[in-house]
Structure 1
Amino acid sequence: MLTSSILYNGQLRTTATHLQSGTVINTDAPVDNNGKGERFSPTDLVATALGSCMLTIMGINAAKNGWNIEGTRVSIEKIMGTEPRRIVEVKVVFDFPGDNGLGEKEKTILERAALTCPVAKSVHPDLLQSVTFNW
C-alpha cells in the first residue's frame, strides 16, 4: 500500500500528501542550500521524525503500563555535514512534565523504548543520535 504522493512545486518546494489521511506537508530547501527556509526541509523532517518516533514508542509503552507521559516535549537540533551533504548528528532532548510518578525502572523502560524506535533503527549507523532525558 502506498504511503504518500509527492509533487514538485518548483522553486525547491514540494507538497507531500499522506494517502490514508489526506494530511499535507510542504517542504522548502534550507537557506544554506539555495532555498528560502520557509518550511521544513526534507532533512528537518528526518530529524523531526526521529524525535516523534521516539516519543510515540514511549507513549505506546506508557499506555500499555498505565503510565502518563502526556505533556512531554521533545526538542530537536539537526547538525549538517558536508562532502557529502548529510545529517551528521541529531540532538534529541526530552523534557518530561513535573511529577509523573515514574520510578527508575519505569524511566529505564521508556528510555530504552525511545532508543530502539523504528526510525532510530532505520537511519544510517554513522548518524550520531545524542539523546537527553530530563525527568
Structure 2
Amino acid sequence: MEANVKAFIEQENYYTEITTGAHTIIADEPLDLGGKDKGFDPMELLAAALSACTLATLKMYMDRKNWTAQKIDVEIHLDNNRETRTTTFTRTLHFEGTDLTEEQIKRLHQIAEACPVHKALTGEITINTHIK
C-alpha cells in the first residue's frame, strides 16, 4: 500500500494541516510545549493510526468469519521514554455484545498484531528525507 500525505505549517505555533486526497486533519502541540492544543500531537496521531488499523483489521476478519460484536473498543496507551529512547504501545481490546469463544478471542489477538500499522511499527522502517 502506498500513501501520499502532505502537511504544512505556517506562522501559528505548531498548528499543522495534514491532507490526503479529500481529507484533512489537524495536528498541534499541547499548551506546555508552545502549541494551542487544537489537534492531536504527532505521537497521538501514531497511536490513532494503530487504533484505526487494529479495529478495521479485526472488523474485516470478523465479517469474513461471520463473527459478531455490537461494538469493539480499543485503547492505546503510548509511553515514549526519551531517556531510554524506547516507545511502548499498550493496546487493550474490548468486545461488547458478542459470544466469542476463548479460541476465537486468541485468534483475534493474532489478527490485531497483523494489522498493517502494527507490522510497520514492529518491522524495519526506512525514512528517506529530501529537501527541495
Q: Into which bin does the TM-score normalised by the smaller protein fall?
A: 0.7 to 0.9
**Residue in 2 that maps onto 1:46:** 46
Q: Structure 1's 64 and 71: CA in aligned 2 closer, same or farther, altered over 3 A?
A: same
Question: In the alignment, is the contact (CA less than 8 A) between 2:15 and 2:36 conserved in 1?
Answer: no
**Residue in 2 that maps onto 1:95:** 94
State yes or no: 1:81 paired with 2:84. Answer: no
TM-score scaled by length of structure 1: 0.77
**Residue in 2 that maps onto 1:14:** 16
Alignment partners' CA distance in 2, 1:32 and 1:89 = 22
Q: Residue by residue, what CA displacement relative to the aligned partner does 1:54-93 show, whole Å, maximum 9, x if unpaired?
A: 1111111001011113411112222122158x66112221
SS of residue matched to 2:35: coil
Question: In the alignment, is the contact (CA less than 8 A) between 1:5 and 1:16 conserved in 2?
Answer: yes
Alignment of 1:98-109 (within 5 A): 98=97, 100-109=98-107
Q: Structure 1's 82 and 34: CA in aligned 2 closer, same or farther, altered over 3 A?
A: farther
CA RMSD, Structure 1 to Structure 2 (Å): 2.2
The structure showing larger relative contact order (alpha-carbon pairs under 8 Å, at least 6 residues apart) is 1
- Identity over aligned residues, as a percent? 26
Q: Which has the higher strand share?
A: 1
Q: Residue by residue, what CA displacement relative to the aligned partner does 1:1-23 show, whole Å, maximum 9, x if unpaired?
A: 7522212133111111121xx12
Q: Residue by residue, what CA displacement relative to the aligned partner does 1:9-39 show, whole Å, maximum 9, x if unpaired?
A: 33111111121xx121000023453323331
State yes or no: 1:65 paired with 2:53. Answer: no
- For structure 2, the 5+ residue unaligned runs are 124-132
Alignment partners' CA distance in 1, 2:111 and 2:122 = 19
